[in-house]
Each structure stands twice: as structure tokens, then as C-alpha cells.
Amino acid sequence: MTKVLEKNHTKSAENQSEERNEGLPFNTKFFDGINVNRSAVERRVNTLTGRRSVKKEYQAAWLLKAISMIDLTTLAGDDTRGNVIRLCEKAKNPVRYDIVQKLGMEDANLTTGAVCVYHNLIPFAKEALEGSHIPIAAVSTGFPAGKNSLEEKISEIKKSVAAGATEIDIVISRDLVLESKWKELYDEIKLCRQACGDAHMKTILATGEIPTYTKVAKASWVAMMAGSDFIKTSTGKESVNATLAVSLVMIRCIREYCELTGIKVGYKPAGGIQKAKQALDYLILIKEELGNEWLTPTLFRFGASSLLGDIERQLEHYVTGSYSAGYRHPMA
């Protein structure tokens, strides 16, 4: 394969050390003055896809990078041990070997960034991923609605960590955002962060249920101040999930937080990202707004269940010139 692929591919096996976000004391001065211009945000992202395009071997390289940043997810009501084991095998071998060979990437140890499951399925994921470097992420705190008590949320986090999860995706109490109860939101997230211990915490804002970009920005700031390692758009269960517009709002908050503290907080768009072209749009947005430092699994993840299948189809098209039927690609 070309040097372009070698240059741009990032192995998810490389657990690059980033200084963890210990947060800041609560202070509304950091976000009181925020007032997001909706039309300007949407104008910015609407021009993105027309101005930027990645083709041929460069597109293949970016898609390989995208694979290394996927939290391969199954969060269905009918999940079983068999589903999780199949998902984990796909995480360890995300692209068919014949395609990997034609790309010249058979020695790259390409895997997804993590596997994401419900709490009760952690033992099955741990069994299936034994001997690999792939992290186990567990959704917690009453996912997806987050309507259980704070005590139950803390208990659930601790149980997931004890079961083997190294990443915890929490959901916030959306009513605290809607009612602008920022100190209560900060305290809730702070306690969740303490319960995570050494496990990294991704805080899901459920932006589809937050009515304004201004509140999304303020919630992002509170989540980072409370010690979130990542901020995440959605559970995937809302009627509106990740969008480029809400992503722009959130990653500019990340940029400002980094400028203030020197700490890099990660970003995870989730829900509705199903096509390779969408993944490229998000990667381009991250590159333009945050820079190459964020183009790594330690600072950027996709929450997705079907994205990998389309990326694999696009890679097969690149090496063969033809699109294959969906059934030729194992579970993604």
C-alpha cells in the first residue's frame, strides 16, 4: 500500500498517554457569557462538505483511521452473549483479510477503538477480548434516559468498573440543563467521575433533547469542569442524534477549555453516523477545528453500530473497483 496509508493510519493498539482531565472548581464565569449564533454555526458546517473532499488512496487512509476510532456498539434490547462475542470478533478483525492484504495493511494490527455494551454484557465482552488491547466501554447511569437516582447511578458505575469496563459512558439528567441548574449538574457529573476511578468517563449530553446551542455549549463546559475525559453528543436513542452543527459547538468548547487549562478533552459523536462519507466529514471538521492532535482514538471516537460495514464496503470498492453485496461483510 502507499506511504499515504502508512502515514495516516493510527493503530488503536497505541494507548497514547494523555493527561487526564481533573476538572475545575465550579464557576459560572467560564460560560455565563456564551451566546451561540445558530445561523453562523449552521452556515459554517453547511459549507464543509462542499469545500473539502478526500479521494482515492487518501480516502482509504482516512477510512482506516476512522475504523481505529470507532466504539463498536451494540445497545439493543435483544442483545445476547452471542451478539457480543460476534461484535468483539469484528472489533478485533474489522476488515476482511483479503481487503487488508490488498491494502498492504496486514501487519498494522488494525482494530476498532473500543467495544461498547450494556453493563450486564461486560463479562462476555471481557471473555471475548481477552489478550487484546481493545477497551470495554459500558453505558451507565440509567442509560438512555438517566432517570434513576444519583445513588443508583453511582452504584451502577462502580459495578461496571468492577466487572471490567475501562471506559464508562454516563448520561446526564437533562432536566438540570433545561432548567439551567448548572451547579447541580456539575455535582452530579463530579460524583460520577469519582466513581469511575481509573476508568475514563464519557459524558453524554443527549443534545437532541437540548433546545438551544447555547445550552449545549454551557452543558459542555460544565461537563468538562466536572472532570469528563470525553464529551459525547447522544445516546443514539433520541429522535435527533449527532449532527455536524452541534459537534462544531461542542468541539469549540473543547478548544477553549484546552486553551484555558492545557488539558485535551476528547469528543465522541454518536447516533445516526452510518456512512463512510459522514465519518470523513467529522474527521475533516476535527482536523480543521482542533488539529491533528485530536485525530487519535485517545481523543476522538465515533459511537456507531453500522458505520464499520459501510467503511468496509468503500475499502473493498477502492481495492477492487466494485461494490459488493452487504451480506459479504460480517456483522458490524
Please answer whether residues 271 and 242 qualify as being in contact, where contact means their C-beta atoms are separated by less than 8 angstroms: yes
Please answer whether residues 232 and 303 qualify as being in contact, where contact means their C-beta atoms are separated by less than 8 angstroms: yes
Alpha carbon distance 96, 125 (integer Å):
21
Q: Which residues pair with 170 in a beta bridge?
A: 203
C-alpha cell at 35: 451566546
For the question of residue 181 being annotated catalytic, the response is no
Beta strands 70-73 and 114-117 are parallel
Q: What angle do CA 127, 133, 136 make, to 5 degrees?
A: 55
Please answer whether residues 249 and 217 qualify as being in contact, where contact means their C-beta atoms are separated by less than 8 angstroms: yes
C-alpha cell at 304: 456507531
Q: What angle do CA 247, 251, 255 make, to 5 degrees?
A: 170
Half-sphere exposure of 169 (CA within 13 A, CB side): 33
H-run or E-run covering 218: helix 213-225
Catalytic residue, candidates 229, 232, 264, 281 = 232
For the question of residue 169 being annotated catalytic, the response is yes
Q: How many helices (H) and strands (E) does the chain have?
A: 14, 8
Q: Which residues pair with 300 in a beta bridge?
A: 267
H-run or E-run covering 41: helix 38-46
C-alpha cell at 32: 455565563
- For residue 198, the 8-state DSSP code is T
For the question of residue 102 being annotated catalytic, the response is no
Catalytic residue, candidates 90, 92, 169, 202 = 169
Q: Give catalytic residue positions.
A: 169, 232, 268
